[in-house]
Structure 1
Amino acid sequence: MSILGKEDILKNYDVIARQIFAEFLGTFLYLSISLLAETNLGKSVVGTSLANGLLVASVIQIIGHISGGHINPAVTVGVLTCGHITVIKAILYIIAQIFGSLIGSCVAYSVTDVTLRNGLGATVPHFNMRADQVFGLEFIMTFILVAVVLSVMDNRNSNGLGSGPLAIGLSVTACQSSAVMYSGSLNPVRSFGPAVVMNIWTFHWVYWVGPILGGIAAGVIYRFIFTIRDSIIIN
């Protein structure tokens, strides 16, 4: 099958339509609830980190067997780089994730009391951090997340926590517990929805470039180093 995936779209459009809807629904569910964590808990590191990680795990449990449960353009790009998804499907996934982010953020906005709304969980640098510092954190944290996702997808990996969704969710929790007071997106659409709804764009480009490059780096290393002896199959 070609890396572009045009033939796959034409032959399996019904399956791919369900996968695209699953990515939209999963991202919508994640944003509509996860954004409430900061409005309810303020800047509680533990609460915010647990809410995000456990929601990621929950959503992946719901849609993982349908679409892979990416709900994150950086994960989609990392999976594409590793050769597990075609280009056209990856683009459609990302479009679905963007729409899910926007609608989920609107729902979170609509159900939040105006006195608690604040920035609606918009990701902005803390403690006057520079753009390069935020970039570095987002790159490293998303590298870890995507590497965990790829390890879960690797059928040679029989070790671990016994639950792929839990492993992925805990990687989000671990990274955010460490750095959420500095930066803690790990997901471009997690940043995009609140930025649009609240019109907060401080260093917003970093929350796209850092995670996506981190995802690409994880995909390259997993594809060409960790699976060097295995054939790469595009699903």
Structure 2
Amino acid sequence: MSIREELKSRQFWRCVLAELAGTLILVSVILGASFPSQEKAPCLLQPALAAGLSAVSLVHCFGDISGAQVNPAVTLAFLCTRKLDFLRCISYLLAQCLGAMLGSGLLYLVLPVNSTGGHMVNRVSVAGNAGQALGMEIFSTFQLVFTIFAVEDHRRREVGEPGSLAIGFSLVAGILAAGNISSGSLNPARSLGPAILTGIWEHHWVFWIGPVLGAVLAGVSYEFFFASSASREKLIACITCKDIEIVETASVSRSSLSTVTQTAMRAKQAHKHDNN
């Protein structure tokens, strides 16, 4: 399908709108859970659980439409593994950033008059430094996106399991792991929205480079080394911009044939044992 035909497609804009709405909901939920009470700021577990539960619901709401990526780092990982074309990648990125800004704006409107909204912004911990925060963002986003690719691989092979729960748990774990060092962003859009509204840009680069690098490393690692269809031919096809789907289909077919052969051999051995 050409770019012009894609832009005229209702399904294309439906996917873009799903990414905008999904990111708006996710960011609004996280920021709402981060809102400090009069007595004290909420513990780290509160926004972590809110993010994880929201992710589970968004997968069910928008998973069959756009994949419910709602994260620029995830979208770029799908681009690098050639699961997403360039036009959709750019469109999703713009929709996600716009959704994050709208979600941040909605929460900013309900803040008390004397509040600056500084609590909404991701910050590097005073006990750490930008390098440590970058490392934690890379690690936390890596384990999140690795889980997302594993769930997608299982879904493609029709392996029945609650994949959305795995993604939600992984998001909670990542925020809890990185929260005391980098405030646990794992999502550049989530950091961008509040930064635009408040004008606080300190160490903002950490929350783009860290998640994007971690996501791309996770996507490439799983897709070309751990996935059921992983093979050297698939990696070479991706690097040389060849049709990766043909190689992937052939790999899956070989894997299925191998599974059938092994099952038949085990059945034959069991039958021989029974006869003896």
Structure 1 and Structure 2 fold alike (TM over 0.5)? yes
In structure 2, the CA distance between the partners of 1:15 and 1:178, relative to structure 1 (3 Å rule), is same
Partner of 2:195: 195
CA shift for structure 1 position 157 = 7.3
Q: Distance in 1 between matches of 2:186 and 2:137?
A: 6
Counterpart of 1:222?
222
| CA offsets 1:149-185 (integer angstroms, 9 cap, x no match) | 11111124737xx222221111110111222121200
Q: Could you tell me the percent identity over the aligned residues? A: 36
Aligned counterparts of 1:166 and 1:109: Cα–Cα separation in 2: 30
The letter for the 2-side match of 1:81 is: C
Secondary structure at 1:135 match in 2 = helix
Are 2:18 and 1:22 aligned?
yes
The residue type paired with residue 216 of structure 2 is I
CA distance in 2, matches of 1:117, 1:60: 32
Structure 1 gaps of 5+ residues are 1-5
Report if aligned partners of 2:62, 2:68 keep a CA contact under 8 Å in 1.
Answer: yes
Letter in 1 for 2:165: L
* Corresponding residue number in structure 1 for 2:137: 138
Map residues 1-235 of structure 1 onto 2, 5 A cutoff: 7=2, 10-11=5-6, 13-40=9-36, 42-114=41-113, 118-154=117-153, 155-156=156-157, 158=159, 162-183=161-182, 184-227=184-227, 228-229=230-231, 232-233=244-245
**4+ residue runs of structure 1 moved beyond 3 angstroms?**
114-118, 229-234
Contact 1:19 1:67 in 2 (8 A): yes
SS of the counterpart of 1:113? coil
Q: Note the aligned Cα RMSD (angstroms).
A: 2.1
SS at match of 2:64: helix
Looking at structure 2, the residues matched to 206 and 142 of structure 1 have their Cα atoms a distance apart, in angstroms, of 12
Post-superposition shift, 1:63?
0.8
Deviations 1:203-232 (A, max 9, x none): 001100110011111121122212323864
Measure the CA separation in 1 of the matches of 2:100 and 2:57.
Answer: 17
Q: CA deviation at 1:202?
A: 1.3
Q: Secondary structure at the match of 1:148?
A: helix
Contact 1:31 1:108 in 2 (8 A): no
TM norm structure 2: 0.76
The answer (yes or no) to whether the contact 1:82–1:222 under 8 Å persists in 2 is: no
- For this pair of structures, how many residues does the alignment match? 227
Q: What is the Cα deviation at residue 108 of structure 1?
A: 0.7
Secondary structure (helix, strand or coil) at the match of 2:131 reads: helix
**Contact 2:149 2:223 survives alignment (8 Å):** no
Counterpart-to-counterpart distance in 2, 1:7 and 1:27: 27
Q: Distance in 2 between matches of 1:189 and 1:62?
A: 20
* Structure with larger Rg: 2
SS at match of 2:181: coil
Q: Displacement of 1:29 after TM fit? A: 1.0
Q: What TM-score does the superposition give when structure 1 sets the normalisation length?
A: 0.89
2:254 maps to: none
Using CA pairs under 8 Å that are at least 6 residues apart, name the structure with larger relative contact order, 1 or 2: 1
Q: Could you tell me whether the CA contact under 8 Å between 1:36 and 1:120 is conserved in 2?
A: no
